[in-house]
Structure 1
């Protein structure tokens, strides 16, 4: 019970307390059924064999790899046999602190599978295509493109954004004027 509401019977007689305040104070005779509790599974991304990771640091930063084996609670063995030559990640031990877990999982990937089976399952599940369509990959591409713009290209983007904003304001003014007439 709250410190400022000591005697619930005395507070029931007090007309200054609202019913909403009293509604939050359960009485001693109130029983809670177990059916009132909804237990849901956590939607965490688990460190598991077959989970795809995005490497954040090191020589392979920005590339995608699959967890092949869990070494310990801080390190995993990864392999990234991408179909594109510049995106290949050789098999190596990666600290989990240098990786971001993704939502993608290669199903039925056996533990400690060699590069050959990983490459077959990678191609079968079309990992490169799924990754390219993901929002995270698209956002990363946009940020990278924006970062590599020249000064003149940044100026052109600024002008285009101003034009778009002007068109929105113009259409909003028309709608507002039409609403004022009615």
Structure 2
């Protein structure tokens, strides 16, 4: 399988660890094999060095040069509409859902549990009725086949 996300200047990354965890930023410069200089002017991430094992590379890139100013990063970030792309991605939606679930109160968790139970009850009843109709159809077909056999035997005699 080929790699599609390379560490490059302009690559947008999701910060998974550290004081800015949960925010996205752009790689501005590559310092070493294990650390990069990042800047996220539209996501409140100041320009600082970060280890690559703290960041996850995304599919998005912006067209910037090496070591450009924060102003240029902001301009290209807004031109590429990175915030809109990120918020519409499945990755961001999963993170948001995980955050919502972790912040539920006891009563909200109870309501979710009851909603799941009622959904499963509806699904179980639909499955049972589908199985019954399928078995009735099979029994009707079997009885028709038996009638045909009896008629064919009677016709032979």
| TM-score bracket, shorter-length normalisation | 0.7 to 0.9
Matches within 5 A, 1:143-162: 143-162=98-117
Corresponding position of 1:136:
91
Corresponding position of 1:29:
none
Corresponding position of 1:115:
70
Q: Secondary structure at the match of 1:90?
A: strand
Corresponding position of 1:127:
82
What is the alpha-carbon distance in structure 1 between the residues aligned to residue 119 and residue 64 of structure 2?
48
Corresponding position of 2:59:
103
What is the alpha-carbon distance in structure 2 between the residues aligned to residue 103 and residue 164 of structure 1?
36
Q: How many equivalent pairs are there?
A: 137
What is the alpha-carbon distance in structure 1 between the residues aligned to residue 87 and residue 23 of structure 2?
12
- For the pair 1:177 / 2:135, whether they are aligned, the reply is no
Deviation at 1:109, TM superposition (A): 1.2
Q: Secondary structure at the match of 1:46?
A: coil
Deviation at 1:140, TM superposition (A): 0.5
Normalising by structure 2, we get a TM-score of: 0.84
- For the pair 1:72 / 2:32, whether they are aligned, the reply is yes
Q: Secondary structure at the match of 1:91?
A: strand
1:163 pairs with one of 109, 112, 118 = 118
- For the pair 1:42 / 2:5, whether they are aligned, the reply is no
Q: Deviations over 1:107-138 (max 9, x none)?
A: x2111111011101100111001000111110
Deviation at 1:155, TM superposition (A): 0.2
What stretches of structure 1 of length at least 5 have no aligned partner? 1-40
Corresponding position of 2:143:
none
What is the alpha-carbon distance in structure 1 between the residues aligned to residue 105 and residue 61 of structure 2?
38
What is the alpha-carbon distance in structure 2 between the residues aligned to residue 138 and residue 181 of structure 1?
44
What stretches of structure 2 of length at least 5 have no aligned partner? 138-157
What is the alpha-carbon distance in structure 1 between the residues aligned to residue 53 and residue 136 of structure 2?
61
What is the alpha-carbon distance in structure 2 between the residues aligned to residue 43 and residue 52 of structure 1?
16
